[in-house]
Homo-oligomer: A and B are copies of this chain.
Amino acid sequence: MTARSREGRTPRERYRSQVRAEIKERAWEQIAASGAPGLSLNAIAKQMGLSGPALYRYFSGRDELITELVRDAYRSLADAFGAAAESGADLAGLGRTMRAWALDDPQRYFLVFGTPVPGYHAPDDVTVIARGVMAHMLDAARRVEGPADDTALQAHLAREEHRRWAGDHPADPAALRRALTFWTRLHGVLSLELAGHFTGMAFDPALLYGAELDTLTHAVP
């Protein structure tokens, strides 16, 4: 008879997911050390005291492992946003959450928002998870009060949204614009900072980041 723990998982299943988790952990360590392009299945196996082919019991190949890491990265950011929103964070709160998430593991940030590897295309479900992240930003952007002056961009967003939803559920263009600006401005500071482009420039990137956050919550533009 099968020994089933709670949740109906057999010991074998539990073992499987533990090993899978350890593989991913070592993969993150490798990525942190030498970036995504340097990720090697054989190196992970060796580090775990396994032979290379053993990993193929857990992932169909290198690509699937990377995809899984991307998924996890998106999910963890979505979770962080979710938790922040849960405890009443506004747009600025999400911004601080994003910065903390990025600094926590810069290479994880770059895996998701960094230079794309030509030729690699993430599966569709990753896009869905990414949209979940965007949804959190949109939600918070919607709750920002203050005048949103009518720009050409906003009109453009309104037009495109109407076309997409055929007039049914167009998103608030002002919120959309704010969410986009939130994303690009914070990404601009974060990615340059994490890439080391501010080193030797004698200023605290956190203050620049904070200044950008202020422009977003007080008034846009």
Residues of A within 8 A of B (CB): 32-38, 107, 110, 113-119, 127, 130, 151-153, 156-157, 160-161, 163-164, 177, 180-181, 183-189, 191-192, 195-197, 200, 202-204, 207-208, 210-212, 214-215, 218-219, 221
Whether B113 contacts A192 by the Cβ 8 Å rule is yes
How many copies of the chain does the oligomer comprise?
2
Whole-angstrom distance between the Cβ of A137 and the nearest chain B Cβ = 12
Whole-angstrom distance between the Cβ of A162 and the nearest chain B Cβ = 10
Closest 5 CB pairs of A and B: A188-B188, A114-B115, A184-B188, A37-B37, A215-B221
Whole-angstrom distance between the Cβ of A34 and the nearest chain B Cβ = 5
Q: Given A187-B191, A221-B211, A157–B113 Cβ distance below 8 Å?
A: no
Whole-angstrom distance between the Cβ of A106 and the nearest chain B Cβ = 9
Q: Given A180-B208, A192-B183, A208-B153, A160–B203 Cβ distance below 8 Å?
A: yes
